[in-house]
Structure 1
């Protein structure tokens, strides 16, 4: 039976998984943005497109490197949700 405690646990687990997956993609882009911003401040080059391309490439590289792991992580979560749903209903 779906009690409020079980529902809260499901939501917390979903939020934790979302947070982990987003951090895996956002943190490398933030680091690249910081490095580019430091470079721009040191050289006084204020070109908007200079910061976009490195962040894009780093984010794409993060997707390529961690994509298989992220898909497996989501698949494991989906399997566990469906398994729990079968026990909660009946």
Structure 2
């Protein structure tokens, strides 16, 4: 196993993690920003007001993007397992 091979696997892993995390984090960030602006405009400082919409949007995104995320993770895992003989030899 060469250092280049390990770096390639690490790079691919970071790409997959970014692809899987972005659909969840970006909508949560946008909803948090909108709720924060609403709280600043109305001077309502309630912690659950920002938490509940974020959880709801993450749940909706998981329902919509979940199958794609699972397929991406399975294909990456399958690629790693298929290359195990290359790790050993």
What TM-score does the superposition give when structure 1 sets the normalisation length? 0.92
CA distance in 1, matches of 2:3, 2:49: 49
CA RMSD between the two structures: 1.0
- C-alpha deviation, 1:87, in angstroms: 3.1
Give deviations 1:21-69, integer Å, cap 9, x for gaps. Answer: 1111111101100010011111111111111100000011111111100
Aligned residues: 89
Alignment partner, residue 66 of structure 1? 65
2:30 corresponding residue in structure 1: 31
Structure 2 gap segments, 5+ residues each: none
The equivalent residue for 2:87 is 88
- For structure 1, the residue ranges without an aligned partner over 5 or more in a row are none
Q: TM-score, normalised by structure 2?
A: 0.93
**Cα distance in 1 between the residues matched to 2:37 and 2:12:** 37
